[in-house]
Every structure is written in structure tokens, then in C-alpha cells.
């Protein structure tokens, strides 16, 4: 049984995270609650009872990311002598924090509001099963049961040797000895005076082979200096702060490299596509992680042809899993390459990074990996320049684009499009990657290779036109191996606008389809249009709304001059975020049409936080402000600022462009937004472009 993730809160630091119910509990049954480290559940049960009764939830918050506070109270409690403690006589506070990526710290505080002393029993039930996350997701057989702990005074230790020969342990240190214990069931007798307090503290430390998590030496973290953004709208500030806080929460490390984990709880690991798109969304404001993500994935490029992992030389990783199952080879996802789009997206991010950094240094450092990635694309393209996918790994992903569920790529009748499939958006990624790498090569003195890549991009563009459906005015989701077109009314085609690879006339007709009420729900762009045979408003990829998908499409519309549509979508996602708990955009939500006085409908098992959903609002803000870096030319362009109508002022401080820092002040003047002040520390030119005019910021 899986819990509704909307009823949970999560805290995280480094590679350690805790997912609990809002009332603080980790019940024994629902998955995937627990304390996790490196894809392993180190604490599976944590239940607090008072004289045998569960406390009642008043409020819970995980707004700080690495710590949570649960405010509880008591129901009617039996006392000695047949008496009862009335409800709400106790304030019960549970405070938790994860620290150093290695331990959970907890304090349980009871405050009595009763007029006389209260004697009661605090019962704490703890258990650990060391189950892998993939088993909790149901992807592999569950073969793990709770282990019997050992208690020595104030120290309770759970330990088990995995099938990979690694000893994993969770050591719980208590602030006082229990008065009675039965395995992981601990009892504490409390005598709380009238108006008095009682407290119990504990710390749970996780380890592998006796080495504490987070204790191994790694290179220092890269700078995560973040651009500061303030606005005059408190609601927008809260949504943005939640987004940036979630991104900080999802910051993780592998082999000393930083990246954004895809999402909690299911995907707390490195995902090529997800981590790359999130780094792209946040490159303007948190550039250090983008650079490290590029290096991390560059170091893991496929090196051999291994069908069991869908691995090929030069291919960028899709998913990295660690722990017991990975170590014994029980899952292809240990180091899995079943993604057709991660490779071109890696090249795109590398080029975007060069524009912000104003340097070819990283491109030159990774030139061998760039050539390998380009080689993989070239070898896998067909005669028309189209890049397709087909799963080779037993148990691997049938669909290998971003809609990777089995029904995520439908034909016109709603049936899954048969593989091999050439997805429409992937061709756009490829064209963008080839063109942008060509530019860097040309700047680095390799004009011949640059020309070759541009010719290959044009060939892909000609192949892409096989997917254009003129009678509908948009592109099909893709072609199967026989050239049969899939559904036309899917959101995938909107990513071609993001890539900037379609004609103005095609873009205008696509705009009409994407903003039609069949596709635009009022909260965002649906993954599949209403009225389609495969449409399901709560289908994972068949009618739901994904914030990152919507944000990329909005950016694409703005790229082609559809600023009003961009602003309309920006406002819709902001309003959606304001309706969710703690202003947090989840991985996805249902595609029901927006109705007056109604909120967006949650998807029950959506990751929250989820990286590319958290990156959606910062990404839209970047494009709303019109920030277009050209650091390789020593320039930052500000193009047609366009923001939600209720934003009157936005101040950006410490924006890093080609080693310089820029402060920007935007003000609304009627229906227009303009740059009113720019302060530059360094050697970069800031140019404002409005309605085709250009003028240096110094002329404002």
C-alpha cells in the first residue's frame, strides 16, 4: 500500500532524507515512508503514542527544507484510578532535523496545560528493514523484513548484512534510558507537573560497514552562490522562495559532484534528463550546480555496448541507483542509459553554460566527451537525420523520452505507439544541440566541424517535417518504425518552440493548438488534449499538467513573440502554486479544466518536491525578465520584459554573467515592464531591447 504523498512532509540534507506523515508518524505499512540514505530505508517505523493513543495533528511544516516541526495534542487519555485526561490538555511538539547528510536529530516535548500533575506513558515504536527504494516502488521483489535491534542503555542499534555483503546500520541514541523495552518498542514513564514539561531527545545515525554516512572525504562543494530576487508582491515572493528552497533541498552529491536529485521520495538520485533540465531552468540564478551536473554526467558517459543497461558509447546516463540491488546486479537501473534525449540535452546545457560563463573553458575541458556524445547521436540517426529509441534492456523502459510511462506516447487511437519511436521533441533537442555546439566549435577555431554539424541539423530539420500534420496545424508526437504518425494533440511538440527550430508560420499554428481549451487547462498545458481517445485527466502522461513541460512551452511561445500567451501561462502556474501546500508546485497535477473558486486537483503519488517542477517558476521569471546572455560576446541582452500583471517591481541582485555581477531593477509602467536601473561590477555590457530597438543600459 502506498501513502498519498500530499499527506506527507519531507526533510533532506545531502543524500539523507526523511519522509513522514504530517502527524510525524512512520507507520509500519504504507510505502515509501522512512529515513533513506543511498536508496536504502534505514528507519521504516517511528510511532509515538501517549498511554496507548496516537496524538492528534494540529499543524506541520517542513518549510526550512532540512528540518520539520509537528504540533500535536492529545485525545482523551486514560489515567490511573480510572480518571481521564481531557483532550487538548497537552501540547506535543516533535522537532526533527537532518544534519551533515548522516543523522536525524529529534526532540519530543510535552507541555501540560492541566491543573494537576499528569502521569502517563510515552511509547515509541521504532523499526528498520533496510529495504531498497526500488523494492518499495514495486519494481523488484520485496525480500526485506524488519530486523531485531539490540539495546544497550540509551543506545538502540538496528543492523543487517545485505546480499551485497555490506553491513548497514541505524544507531538510535536516546537522551534517557527507557523504563521498559521489547525489541524496538520503548516505553517511558512520564510525570509532568501542572503547567510543566517533559522531553525526550534522540539521534539516529546511519552507516555502511561501520562508516558513518557523509563521513567519507569528497572534494569541496562548488560555490552555490545564488542570485537574490525581490519583488513587491508577497505571494510571488513566497512561491519563488518555496521553489528555490526546494531546489536547495534536492541538492545532492555523487563522486564529489553536485546535482539536483530528480524528486522525493521515488527519485532521490541522479537522472540525466531531469537533472539537466533543472540545471537549465536554474542556470541564471544558481550557475555552480549546472557546471557540476555537466561534469558529473560527462564522467559517466556510456563506454560500451551493453544491451542489459541500454548503454552505448557516448550516451548520457538516464538513471543512477546505488545500494544493495545495484551492487548485486539485480536491476538494470543501477547505471541505466535508457534515455534518448539526455545526450542532446547535455550538449544544450553545456552550450548554455558557456553563454552565461562567457568562456569556452568547460567546453574545452570536456571536448572528448562532446565528441563522444556527438558520435552517439550521429550513429543512431536514420537516413533522414531522425533519432529514435527502442528498449533493449530486460525490465528497462519501453518509452525513453520524458513521457516514459508505457502509455505515454499514444497513437491517434490512444494505443501506445510501437517502438522504435522517433519522438518529435527529441529532434528539436538534437537540432538545438548541433547548432549550438557548432557555434562553440567555430569560436574555438574548428570551422569545418562546425559546418558539418550545421548540415546535420538541417538534415534533421527536413526529417522533422515528416511529422508535420498540415490538416491539424501541428506536429505528431512522433513516428513509429514504419513511419506511422502518433497522436497530434500532445504537449511534446511545444518543446520544438523551446528549441527554436520551427518556422514562424508553423509556430503560429502550433500556438493556436497549444493554447486551445483542449490543451490549456487554465492551470497549464495538458500532456494530452481533452477529447483524445487516450485522454485521462489523472493519467500520468495522458492528460495531466506537468509544470516543467508547461514552462518550457511558455518559453518557446515567448521566443516566437507570443508574449501575451507566455504571461497568461506564467500567471496560471503561479496561481496553481499558490493553491498547493506551502506554495509548492508538485511533479504534476490533474488536467481537469479550471473552474471558478476551485483549486488544481492533486495527483496522489506526485513527487513533492520535484526538481524540474521547482525550477519552473525561476525559469519563467528569467524569461519574463527577458534575460538572454551572450557572455561569449561580453553581453547580456534584456529583451521585451514581460511579467505577470500584478508584479510592479522586480529587483535582481548579483546576477553572474561572464564573471561579472549585475544588479537589475525592473518597474512596470502601465502595461509594459522596463529596466529602470542596471549596475555592473565587471566587464559586461547590458543591452535593453524593446520592440526592435536596442540601447545600452548605461543610456537609461
DSSP 262: S
Higher pLDDT, 225 or 425: 425
Q: Residue 457's pLDDT is what?
A: 98
Average pLDDT for residues 138-154, to the nearest whole number? 86
Q: Residue 3's pLDDT is what?
A: 74
Task: Please answer whether residues 9 and 62 qualify as being in contact, where contact means their C-beta atoms are separated by less than 8 angstroms.
Answer: yes
Span 402-439, pLDDT tens digits: 999 999 999 999 999 999 999 999 999 999 999 999 99
DSSP three-state, residue 367: helix
Residue 220 pLDDT greater than 70, yes or no? no
Q: Residue 145's pLDDT is what?
A: 82
Q: Residue 79's pLDDT is what?
A: 86
Indicate the pLDDT class of residue 5, thresholds 50, 70 and 90: confident
Task: Please answer whether residues 548 and 281 qualify as being in contact, where contact means their C-beta atoms are separated by less than 8 angstroms.
Answer: yes
Report which of 502, 501, 472 is spatially closest to residue 488, judged by C-alpha positions.
Answer: 472
Q: Residue 219's pLDDT is what?
A: 38
Span 40-61, pLDDT tens digits: 999 999 999 999 999 999 999 9
Indicate the pLDDT class of residue 495, thresholds 50, 70 and 90: very high
Residue 29 pLDDT greater than 90, yes or no? no
> Helix/strand/coil (H, E, C) string of 92-149?
EEEEEEEECCCEEEEEEEEEECCCCCEEEEEEEEEECCCCEHHHHCCCCCCCCCCCCC
Q: Residue 700's pLDDT is what?
A: 36
Q: Residue 697's pLDDT is what?
A: 44
CA pair distance 690, 606, nearest whole angstrom: 40
Span 52-103, pLDDT tens digits: 999 999 999 998 889 999 999 999 999 887 889 999 999 999 999 999 889 9
Average pLDDT for residues 597-610, to the nearest whole number? 92
Q: Residue 214's pLDDT is what?
A: 60
Task: Please answer whether residues 316 and 296 qualify as being in contact, where contact means their C-beta atoms are separated by less than 8 angstroms.
Answer: no
Q: Residue 332's pLDDT is what?
A: 79
Average pLDDT for residues 574-589, to the nearest whole number? 95
Higher pLDDT, 32 or 111: 111
Residue 262 pLDDT greater than 60, yes or no? yes
In this prediction the pTM is 0.93
Question: Distance of alpha carbon 591 from its chain centroid, rounded?
Answer: 20
Average pLDDT for residues 135-146, to the nearest whole number? 80
Span 513-555, pLDDT tens digits: 999 999 999 999 999 999 999 999 999 999 999 999 999 999 9
Average pLDDT for residues 152-172, to the nearest whole number? 95
Residue 609, preceding peptide bond in cis (omega within 30° of 0)? yes
Indicate the pLDDT class of residue 4, thresholds 50, 70 and 90: confident
Report which of 283, 348, 689, 690 is spatially closest to residue 498, judged by C-alpha positions.
Answer: 348
Average pLDDT for residues 189-211, to the nearest whole number? 95
% the chain with pLDDT above 70? 96
Amino acid at each position: 500500500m502506498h501513502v498519498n504523498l500530499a499527506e506527507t512532509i519531507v526533510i533532506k540534507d545531502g543524500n539523507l532524507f526523511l519522509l513522514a506523515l504530517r502527524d510525524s508518524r512512520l507507520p509500519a505499512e504504507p510505502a515509501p515512508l522512512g529515513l533513506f540514505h543511498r536508496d536504502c530505508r534505514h528507519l521504516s517505523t517511528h510511532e509515538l503514542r501517549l498511554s496507548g493513543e496516537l496524538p492528534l495533528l494540529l499543524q506541520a511544516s517542513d518549510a526550512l527544507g532540512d528540518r520539520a516541526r509537528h504540533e500535536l495534542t492529545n485525545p482523551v487519555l486514560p489515567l490511573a484510578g480510572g480518571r481521564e485526561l481531557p483532550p487538548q490538555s497537552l501540547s506535543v511538539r516533535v522537532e526533527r532535523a537532518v544534519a551533515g547528510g548522516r543523522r536525524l536529530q529529534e526532540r519530543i516535548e510535552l507541555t501540560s496545560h492541566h491543573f494537576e500533575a499528569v502521569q502517563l506513558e510515552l511509547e515509541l515504536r521504532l523499526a528498520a528493514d533496510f529495504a531498497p527504494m526500488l523494492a518499495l516502488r514495486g519494481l523488484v521483489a520485496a525480500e526485506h523484513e524488519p530486523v531485531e535491534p539490540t539495546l544497550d542503555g540509551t543506545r538502540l542499534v538496528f543492523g543487517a548484512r545485505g546480499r551485497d555483503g555490506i553491513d548497514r546500520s541505524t544507531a538510535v541514541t536516546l537522551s534517557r534510558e527507557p523504563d521498559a523495552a521489547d525489541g524496538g518498542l520503548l516505553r517511558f514513564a512520564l510525570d509532568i507537573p501542572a503547567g510543566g514539561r517533559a522531553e525526550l531527545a534522540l539521534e539516529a545515525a546511519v552507516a555502511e560497514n561501520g562508516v558513518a554516512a557523509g563521513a567519507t572525504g569528497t572534494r569541496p562543494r562548488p560555490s552555490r552562490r545564488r542570485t537574490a530576487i525581490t519583488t513587491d508582491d508577497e505571494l510571488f515572493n513566497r512561491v519563488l522562495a518555496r521553489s528555490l528552497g526546494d531546489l536547495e533541498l534536492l541538492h545532492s552529491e555523487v563522486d564529489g559532484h553536485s546535482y539536483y536529485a530528480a524528486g522525493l521520495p521515488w527519485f532521490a538520485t541522479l537522472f540525466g534528463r531531469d537533472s539537466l533540465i533543472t540545471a537549465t531552468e536554474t542556470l541564471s540564478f544558481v550557475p555552480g550546480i549546472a557546471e557540476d551536473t555537466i561534469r558529473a554526467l560527462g564522467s559517466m558517459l556510456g563506454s560500451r555496448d551493453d544491451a542489459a543497461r541500454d548503454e552505448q558509447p557516448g550516451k548520457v546516463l538516464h538513471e543512477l541507483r546505488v545500494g544493495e540491488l545495484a551492487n548485486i546486479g539485480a536491476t538494470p537501473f543501477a547505471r541505466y542509459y535508457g534515455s534518448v534525449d539526455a545526450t542532446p540535452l547535455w550538449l544544450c546545457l553545456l552550450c548554455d553554460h558557456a553563454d552565461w560563463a562567457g568562456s569556452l573553458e568547460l567546453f574545452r575541458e570536456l571536448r572528448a566527451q562532446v565528441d563522444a556524445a556527438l558520435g552517439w547521436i550521429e550513429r543512431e540517426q536514420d537516413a533522414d537525420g531522425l533519432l529514435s529509441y527502442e528498449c533493449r534492456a530486460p525490465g528497462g523502459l519501453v518509452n525513453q523520452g520524458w513521457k516514459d510511462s508505457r502509455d505515454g506516447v499514444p497513437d491517434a487511437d490512444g494505443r501506445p505507439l510501437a517502438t522504435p519511436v522517433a519522438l518529435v521533441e527529441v529532434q528539436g533537442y538534437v537540432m538545438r544541440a548541433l547548432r549550438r555546439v557548432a557555434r562553440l566549435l567555430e569560436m574555438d577555431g574548428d570551422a569545418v566541424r562546425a559546418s558539418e554539424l550545421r548540415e546535420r541539423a538541417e538534415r534533421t530539420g527536413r526529417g522533422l517535417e515528416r511529422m508535420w500534420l498540415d490538416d491539424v496545424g501541428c506536429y505528431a508526437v512522433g513516428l513509429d518504425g514504419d513511419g506511422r504518425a502518433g497522436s497530434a494533440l500532445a504537449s511534446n511538440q511545444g518543446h520544438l518552440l523551446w528549441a527554436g527550430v520551427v518556422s514562424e508560420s508553423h509556430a503560429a499554428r502550433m500556438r493556436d493548438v497549444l493554447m486551445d481549451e483542449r490543451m490549456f487547462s487554465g492551470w497549464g498545458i495538458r500532456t494530452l488534449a481533452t477529447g483524445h481517445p487516450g485522454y485521462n485527466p489523472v493519467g500520468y502522461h495522458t492528460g495531466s499538467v506537468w509544470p516543467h513541460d508547461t514552462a518550457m512551452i511558455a518559453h518557446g511561445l515567448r521566443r516566437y513573440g507570443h508574449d501575451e500567451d507566455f504571461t497568461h501561462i506564467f500567471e496560471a502556474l503561479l496561481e496553481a502554486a499558490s493553491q498547493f501546500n506551502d506554495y509548492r508546485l508538485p511533479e504534476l497535477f490533474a488536467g481537469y479544466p479550471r473552474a471558478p473558486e476551485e483549486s488544481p486537483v492533486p495527483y496522489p503519488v506526485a513527487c513533492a518536491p520535484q526538481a524540474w517542477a521547482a525550477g519552473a517558476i525561476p525559469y519563467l521569471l528569467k524569461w519574463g525578465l527577458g534575460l538572454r546572455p551572450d557572455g561569449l560576446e561580453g553581453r547580456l541582452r534584456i529583451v521585451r520584459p514581460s511579467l505577470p500583471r500584478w508584479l510592479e517591481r522586480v529587483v535582481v541582485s548579483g546576477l553572474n554573467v561572464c564573471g561579472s555581477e549585475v544588479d537589475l531593477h525592473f518597474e512596470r509602467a502601465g502595461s509594459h515592464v522596463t529596466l529602470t536601473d542596471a549596475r555592473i561590477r565587471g566587464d559586461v555590457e547590458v543591452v535593453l531591447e524593446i520592440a526592435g530597438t536596442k540601447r545600452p543600459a548605461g543610456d537609461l
